[in-house]
Every structure is written in C-alpha cells, then in structure tokens.
Chain A
Amino acid sequence: MSEKPTGRIYLFTKYERLWHWLQMAIIFTLLLTGFEAAGRFKLFGYEGAAYLHNRVGLFWVIAFLVFLFWIVTTGEWKQYIPTTKNLFDVVIYYIYGIFAGHSHPFPKTKEAKHNPLQRFTYLALATLLLPFQMATGLLYWSYNSWEAWGIDKYLSLKWLATVHVAGAFAILAFVIIHVYMTTTGHTVFGYIKGMITGWEDTYDD
C-alpha cells in the first residue's frame, strides 16, 4: 500500500468535478435544512431552513437536468451501464481483500471509471433515489396546486412528507458510506484528490 505511484490517469473532466462538488454542496444543504425543517434540530430557524430548502431544491432539479443533458450528449451514460462481471470480486474485496492487503480487483481506466458496484450504486442513485427525492420534493412544494391538478385525492401531505424524509435518510446513508469509501484508495485522500484535480495516481501491483 505504501509503494510509490507509477503513473497517473485523467479520470474526471472539469464539468464532472464541478458537478460533483456542486451536488455535494446542494445535498449537504438540503439534508441540513431538510432535517431542520422536519423539526430535528435548530440551526437556521424554521423560516430560513424552509426558504433555503425550497430554493436550493429547485436549483438542484434544474442543475440535475443539465447533468442529464451532459451525460446523454457526451456518451458518459455508458459509464453507468450495470454489469455483474467482476461484481462479486469487488464485493469480496471490500468485505475481505481490503483487510488482507489485496489490490483492488478492478483498476480504473478512462473508459471505465466506475467499478461494477459503483455502477449499480450510482445508476440506482441517479435514476431512482435522487429523482424520487426531487419528485417528492416538487410535490411537497406544489402542495397547494394538487387540487387544481386533480391529484389531491391520491396524495396526502403526511405520507408525502414521510416518504420524502425516508428518502433523505437513504441519501444520508449513501453519503456516509460514500465518504468513507473515498478513504479506501491507495492513500486515504487519494480518491478525494482525484475528484479535486481530475487526476488519480496509478500503481503497479
């Protein structure tokens, strides 16, 4: 683990890195203001928290649409095609190999930035959890239009708020594991450095 890097690889473009850190800031703000608005603690005060949450939430939806446009037009969506190939190797690595000092079974390349486990996780995140959170958030925000849209019969604010909070817990759980996983590279801050500079060090194993 302590050997010197033998080379480096440019993995993340400027836009990807900007999007990643922007989305981090957005999700961090939304989690903080969201849980405050849900009455879990006091920080900004209800009014400030609710105001920030609504504005940042709306901004997130727009920014996410831009990301979708980028991922489709650049062909980067291919990075998220799920595969079971090597999936078990990666899982076994994280529950055993990493402790025994084995090297990662899936070296990153420019063409395949994500290991199979990441592909599944990010695909589920980008197509299920995050859109679910945005959709329930938008419905929450537009609560007073439900009647005009004819959907008030099928929705209750109580249940919508509950599933929105459940989604937030799921995202927070992802954030915790995701942040921890960044420390599992060759060096503790290696992956974070990669997402800041775009370059990740490579090692011969």
Chain B
Amino acid sequence: MRPSLVIVLASLFVSLQPAVAGASTASAGAEPAVAAEAHAAPPAAKPAAQPNAPWVTVDHSKLEALQKNFTSAKDLTDTCLSCHNKTLDQFQHSIHWTWRAPSSTKDRIVGKGGDSINNFCVSTNYMHDHECLDCHIGWDRKPVTINCMNCHGDLSFNYEEAVEDIEAFLEEGDEESLEMAHDVQQDLKAAAQRIQLPTRKHCGSCHFYGGGWEATKHGDLDKSLGTPTKELDVHMGIDGQNFQCTRCHTTKDHKIAGRMYSIPAATTRESLIENDLGTRITCVSCHTDKPHTSGFANKLNDHTDVVACQACHIPTFARKRSTQMDWDYSTSGKTRDGKKYVVKDADGRPVYMSIKGSFVWKKNVKPEYFWFNGSIHNMTFKDVIDPDQTVWLSRPLGGPHDKNSRIFPFKVHRCNQAYDKVYKTLLTAIYTEEDGGYWDTLDWPKAFAMGQKDVGMPFSGKFGYVRTKYVLPTTHMVAPKEQAVKCAECHTRNNGRMAKIAGVYIPGRDGHHLVNALGLLLILGCLAGVCGHALIRCIGAIIRRSKSVG
C-alpha cells in the first residue's frame, strides 16, 4: 500500500508543479521542474522488497539439510557449506579474513594482517594477543573454519553458548545430559533456520567497537547507529529510510564494498543511472554528481568536482558518543598503592589507565580536511621514521591536480607512541594478561621484546616516544541537509574549515594581496583627489566672492 500511495502523492506533486513554477519568478522557472523530478525519484529508488524483507529466494526453514540436530560448531558451519559450497574459499580470500591489502609486496605487507602499524593497539597479525580474535577472525591465518552465524545468524540467539552446551552435554553422555543436549539442539535448529542478511547490528557488533571500545577508533561509527534517528544518519534513520549497512556496502564473492585503504572504495564516480551494474558505495551512485536541486543548486553542484559530499554533509562526527582523539602511551605504568587503576570522565570514558596511558575523548568534533583520492598510505613497523617530526602512520593520498581527488573529511587520531631509539622504527608490543604482556607486567622493555620478536624485528632496548597521526575517513552519520556545513564556514578569510587546503582558489578565503593593496590605494587616491578638488573649489569660490564684495 505505502509505496503506491507515495507514487500517487508524487505524481500529484508533479502535476501541480507547473502551476507552482508559473507562479514563481521567471528567473527561477527552470528549477522547480528539476525539483519535481527529484521529489518523484524516491519511490523509483525504493528496493523491490521492503528493506527488512528477505531478498533471497530460499526459505531456509524448509531446507532438508537444516532439519538436523547439530553436534558441534563445525557441524553447523559444514551444513551451511554443504549448499553454499563456494563460501569458505570466497570468505578466506576476503579482507575480513586475510587483513591484507592487495597492494602488498613480499617485503612490505600492507594491512593489519601484515606489517602495517596503527596508533591504537599497534598490534599485528604476527602476534599472539588472542583477544583480537573476537573481531579479527582468522587472525594469524590458523586453519580454523568460519562461523556463518556471526554475520547471518539471529542476534538474539547465542550460538556460541548453545554449541558449547551441546558439545558438553553430548560428551557427558548420560541420559539426562543427552536430553538436555536435545533441547538445546532443537533451539539451535530453529535459530539456524532463521538465517538473514547482515543488519546494522551484525556489522556493528565489531565495527561500532573498533579500537576496543564503542566509537573509540571511528568517530562516525558507534552503537547509536544500531537504531539511529534520521537526525543522526539521514539514510539509516529508523524514522526515515532505515537503510541497513548492506544497502550501500554491497557484496561480491563475500568481498564487501567500501573499504578505504590502499585501494579506493570505488575507482569511478558514476551513478546507477549511467551504469546500473555499478557500485552503490559512493554518494554519486544514487545522488549523481549534480545532487542539489533547489535554492543555490547550480553553484552547489559546481563543488562536486573538488569537494566530497561528506565534507559538507557530515558537519561533525561523534555526535552521540565521544570518540578517542589522543592516546599518550608515555604516561602508562603508574600505580596507586601498588595497584593498577583507571580514571574516567563524566561520560564514563577512561582518561587514564595504568595499563594504557592517557586518553583524550571528544564529542561533536569538526573533521580535518585533506585532498583524498581514496587511497591511504600506511606506515609499517619496518619503515624508518624521523622521531623529531610527527609521523603520519596513515596519510591520505591525492592532491588538487589529481582528477580523482576531492577534499574529504577525516578524523585524525593523534598518539604519543614508542619507537626504538637505535633502529628508528616504531615498536610493537604484546599486551594481554594471558600472554604475559604489558597489561600484566607494566614492563615495556619486556613487552616490546616479545612484540618485536613476534614480528621478526630487532629491539635495541632503548626506546622513546614519538608523536604520530592516523587518519580515518569520515563517511557515516550523514546529517539531514538542513545541518550541512554553511557556505561561510569555508568561504571565509580566517580560520575556515578549508584554511589548510592548498591548491584550490576559494572565493572569500583567497585573494591577491598585491592587487588588493593597489586597489585600495587607488580608491583612497580617488577619494583624496576628489576631496582635494572639492576643497580647492570651495576656496576658489570664497576668494571670488570676497573679491566681488570688495
């Protein structure tokens, strides 16, 4: 009912438009017609099925393979793979498993699963911090299998617990235990049949917690996006279009679109109107490169060759939960009465932890802007650094003369982290208690020695701290258009959002100092000239009058 009603209303609106256009000014006459098309567009852009209705052509509850009592986690996965027989291979070649960027070379493997280092946990794949495995599945590429339920299961059901219970009861083997195993198996069977496409909460179970806590690493991803309002995210708002992540992050062979690392999320900016089989990951995919239809539309559209949509439409990030902006490792290791302690701020965020150091958290943060062509250059723990300068651990690539570059908003995470004073490389460490890491011992040299050994790098024993920067592209939490960045926030002489952007002339910000100075001189000269001329005229008139009177 609802879509058809929308279409009827939209067509009514279209038919009313000419009258409205006729009543408005002649100069703006061309625009309402365009606006009418735009208003009519949403119904056509709706998916064939309602967002939360399954697109699949299979009712899993009717599948014969799923009418069984699962005996183990592997049994459950193997059952899925018995039909989805390409999935394991596909998944184990995806970034979600390898954690390596395709741009890697043999000596310099880019990605978390390689030699890259960030300024959060500075841990990598080669190491043995087992807690990382909660999200970084396949870490260390151990010969373990996948768990389809992580992304496709019913989130209200705890598969892991169910499987553990079943395995335990079956092992005990007595009649009572077998009966209990049977009960759990019935629940698991029913849950396994409730297979679905990943929802915001599936993706969010890891991505809302990047960096270990909610909204820590990404300022534009936190738990509030599980049930966001339109005001927080105009696409995902449950009171609006209710997009799931998969609406834009489309998938091919279990490779999910949208990662912005060494290779751009999309290499072309084309709309689905130009190529209906193109990607849906860019704003342009749905909005085209002329997205504005009302008001100052033509000039706003003139920006799209230089400014990314996100730059104006995500005025601030971390709008619901504060995000970590700075981490100072150098203050770690203090104790009170010989005990490790934590100090929290009013939001419940830790500002000091003995095991980690000092943190700065911020809410409603204005992004920093850089030219960006979609590729990010990442440092590795093999690269030699200059400790006297702030080190860009990751740096956006691109520039004003690169056709694919746009001015893009970033969260920049800053850190004071350890480096080896002799080898001039950044240091890795082992952290977790169970692995005898720093969180247990508060002994950095020991933790560095373990970390460096794991990654096959030397440690001289002498370490210091260096300032580092890590960039995170800001692309979620797109605000409603009314909250978009106003023109004057960039087109301003001092302290505008674009103050540091080079290579582009921004009216209102830039000017030619010499021409402006000469111009001002000319104007002052003219004023002085006419004033002087007027003065002499007056004097002449007075003299003449006194003569004629005399």
Contacts and interface: CB of A to CB of B under 8 A. Distances in A.
Interface of A: 1, 37-39, 45-47, 50-51, 54-55, 59, 98-101, 143-144, 156-158, 161-162, 165-166, 168-170, 172-173, 176-177, 180, 183-184
B130 interface: no
Contacts of B510: 39, 158, 161
Nearest to A58: B27
Contact of A54 (B299, B486, B533, B541): B299
B296 A99 contact: no
Given A45-B488, A158-B510, A144 B302 contact: yes
10 contacts: A37-B508, A38-B507, A47-B487, A50-B487, A98-B537, A143-B302, A144-B302, A157-B504, A158-B512, A184-B537
A183 B302 contact: no
Given A101-B541, A162-B515, A165-B515, A47 B486 contact: yes
B487 A46 contact: yes
Nearest first, the 9 closest Cβ-Cβ pairs linking A and B are A169-B519, A180-B530, A99-B540, A46-B488, A47-B487, A162-B512, A157-B505, A158-B505, A39-B493
Interface in B472-525: 486-488, 491-493, 504-505, 507-512, 515-516, 518-520, 522-523
A173 B522 contact: yes
A169 B523 contact: yes
B541 A1 contact: yes
Contacts of B488: 45-47
A15 to B, nearest CB: 21
Given A38-B507, A38-B511, A173-B526, A46 B519 contact: no
Nearest to B490: A46
A180 B533 contact: yes
A170 B530 CA distance: 15
B523 A165 contact: no
Contacts of A51: 296, 299
A166 B519 contact: yes
Contacts of B539: 99
Contact of B516 (A165, A173, A183): A165
Contacts of A47: 296, 486-488
Given A99-B540, A169-B523, A46 B511 contact: no
A93 B540 CA distance: 13
A39 B511 contact: yes
B384 interface: no
A172 B523 contact: yes
B288 to A, nearest CB: 14
A96 B390 CA distance: 68
Contact of A101 (B515, B530, B534, B540): B540
A39 B527 CA distance: 22
Nearest to A169: B519
B523 A176 contact: yes
A16 to B, nearest CB: 25
A47 B231 CA distance: 24
Contact of B526 (A45, A157, A168, A176): A176
Interface majority SS on B: helix, strand, loop or mixed?
A: helix
A88 to B, nearest CB: 18
Contacts of A99: 536-537, 539-540
Contacts of B523: 169, 172-173, 176
Contacts of A169: 515, 518-520, 522-523
Nearest to A147: B305
Given A50-B487, A99-B536, A165 B519 contact: yes
Contacts of A168: 519
Contacts of A161: 505, 507, 510-512
Contact of B544 (A101, A165, A180): A101
B70 to A, nearest CB: 60
Nearest to B510: A158
Given A50-B508, A144-B301, A144-B302, 20 more contacts: A1-B541, A37-B507, A39-B510, A45-B487, A46-B487, A47-B486, A50-B299, A55-B27, A101-B544, A158-B505, A162-B515, A165-B512, A165-B516, A166-B518, A166-B519, A168-B519, A169-B518, A173-B523, A177-B529, A177-B530
A108 to B, nearest CB: 20
A83 B483 CA distance: 60
Nearest to B512: A162
A175 B505 CA distance: 28
Q: Which of the listed residues B516, B520, B537, B539 has the most CB atoms from chain A within 10 Å of its own CB?
A: B516
Nearest to A145: B302
Contacts of A39: 491-493, 507-511
Contacts of B526: 173, 176-177
A52 to B, nearest CB: 11
B381 to A, nearest CB: 42
B305 A144 contact: yes
A98 B544 CA distance: 12
A46 B492 contact: yes
A115 B385 CA distance: 75
Nearest to A62: B27
Contacts of B305: 144
Contacts of A144: 301-302, 305
Contacts of A143: 302
B512 A50 contact: no
Nearest to B27: A55
A27 to B, nearest CB: 15
B414 to A, nearest CB: 31
Contact of B530 (A98, A100, A172, A176): A176
Interface string B160-182: 00000000000000000000000
Contacts of A180: 530, 533-534
A123 B72 CA distance: 94
A158 B504 CA distance: 8
B229 to A, nearest CB: 27
